[in-house]
Amino acid sequence: MRRLTAITAMALTLIACSDSSDRSVSVPPPVPEPEPEYLAIPQPAVELPPDEGNIALLATTFDLALVGYEQAEYFISGEASAFSNLNELQSDGLWEAEPGEQASYRTRIVVYRPSDPADFSGTVLLEWLNVTAGFDTPPSYGSGHVEMLRSGHVWAGVSAQIVGIEGSENSLVPLHLKAAEPERYASLEHPGDSFSYDIFAQAGQALRAPGVIDLLAGLEPERIIALGESQSAGRLLTFINAVHPLYNAFDGYLVHSRGDGSPPLAQEPQAEISTPEVVTFREDLNVPVLNFQTETDVIALGAVSDRQPDSAGFRLWEVAGAAHGDFYSFVSGRADFGEGAQFAQVVEESAILGFIQCAQPMNAGPMPWVFNAALRALDDWVSDGTAPPESPRLQVDDAGEALLRDADGIALGGIRTPYVDAPPGVLTGEPNGGDSFCFLFGTTQLFDAAQMAARYTDQAGYEAAVAESADAAVAAGFLLAEDAERIKAAATLQWQALSP
């Protein structure tokens, strides 16, 4: 039918243009679709924090000046809305909502920006800081900071939820803002997480349209991309389905390690507005979404039930051998400013920052390296319309309850890297034992010298296998060339570590 319509339209056009008499047919021009009308995002007030204490955020440990960056912190404040639904919230994410009750807030936003304006890429990445541990953490920055910084992006993290400021009874350690730096953050106030969606949107507005105090110190953003990991990924999913259609708040979204379902649109002390157990991303968005998933997310966190096909504006990447949290993102990578093969080496380590002890060595595999590729792919998609490659899905059993694995226990399907196709051991996203949160950190079991020799014969054989797999991942669009070189160099360290 589409084909016939196109031919008919062409014929009418030719008739209109070819006649030399008054018999020509006039074809009216097509009527353009009306531009959607969006609500104005409230402009928050911006102020400098008091000159007390230090910025409280467990992020990277190197001096940002080493990579040409500087950090700053601001307080933003205003009136935020909670949202109420206008239709039944169903699994397809085609939700209709409207602003409702309002409340005052004052929160903070941390900004990492290039010191030299000439280094700025034009991209701002706004992360919804994660509060699962009972305080603010930036796990997406932790995983992808090397790509963010070497590309010249601005990264910003906002304390969108009340726990980041006030803490919770189940906090891992008392590092929420008012405990970590009470004098600096005493004036912050948060009315509750029903208002978190609007607070996040207003943080983006403060970056996009600066007032007297400019969060970007004169840098002019061309695009603002929202991202968040784990519970923040869930918050973004609810935001995308319910709030983005109202505000058109961001130019793209990187949803990093979501579980099943999504958080409520409103919650206590407001009347709860729950969301379905299975939630997909709405398919009528005007901006692209990349959903980045690990083994843990697909099975242990139940997102296998929420899978959806790729489309013109959506990509789902599932990474074999990766875990929800890993050694790089929370331990070693905090010192990585883009140099050194040791950061790509697989190691067996079971302790996290001295206060989490897992029963088995945590995953030390591919997640950050593929995440770097996801960041660049989404930035290209937003910038020039170049869509990312489509990811093969991790293979699951018929019941959707377990991943299919080879004889060694390595997952089948998904995005392939040297960590699973030229492996130095078995990396999984299976739940780990031990202290709280260890179930999210997957496992690592290195091969011994005899197993490595049986697979690769010698160091040259192993290095060749890693190089072949890395080059294939680069060609497929799931690994960046500069990261592939670090992974290849790490193969030498990996083999040498086998020596007694």
Q: Give the full edge-to-edge strand order of the sheet including 97-114.
A: 45-47, 69-85, 97-114, 154-158, 123-128, 223-229, 252-256, 289-294, 314-319
Please report which confidence band the pLDDT of residue 436 belongs to, taking 50, 70 and 90 as the band edges: confident
Is pLDDT larger for residue 32 or for residue 63? 63
pLDDT value of position 3: 33
pLDDT value of position 370: 98
The Cα angle at residue 9 between residues 7 and 12, in degrees rounded to 5: 110
Strands 314-319 and 351-352: unpaired
Residue 11 has pLDDT above 60, yes or no: no
Asked whether the whole model's pTM tops 0.85, one would answer yes
Measure Cα distances from 279 to 130, 198, 272 in Å. 20, 21, 17
Kindly report the number of other CB atoms within 10 A of residue 30's CB atom. 7
What is the mean pLDDT of the segment spanning 376-397? 98
User: For residue range 171-214, what is the model confidence (pLDDT) as tens digits?
Assistant: 888 999 999 999 999 999 999 999 999 999 999 999 999 999 99
Integer distance in angstroms from the first to the last C-alpha of the chain? 71
Ranges 3-7, 18-22, 475-479: which has the least confidence: 3-7
Tell me the CATH number for domain 45-267.
3.40.50
User: For residue range 485-500, what is the model confidence (pLDDT) as tens digits?
Assistant: 999 999 999 999 997 6
Query: Phi, psi (5° rounding) for residue 475?
Result: -60, -35
User: For residue range 280-339, what is the model confidence (pLDDT) as tens digits?
Assistant: 999 999 999 999 999 999 999 999 999 999 999 999 999 999 999 999 999 999 999 999
Q: What percent of the chain has pLDDT over 90?
A: 90
Distance separating alpha carbons of residues 445 and 430, to the nearest angstrom: 12
> Is the distance from CB of 279 to CB of 261 less than 8 angstroms?
yes
Is pLDDT larger for residue 23 or for residue 318? 318
DSSP string, 254-274: EEES--SS---SB-TTSPPB-
- For the chain, the structural domain boundaries read 45-267, 288-294+306-500
pLDDT value of position 36: 80
Please report which confidence band the pLDDT of residue 8 belongs to, taking 50, 70 and 90 as the band edges: very low
Residue 12 has pLDDT above 70, yes or no: no
pLDDT value of position 173: 87
Residue 74 has pLDDT above 60, yes or no: yes
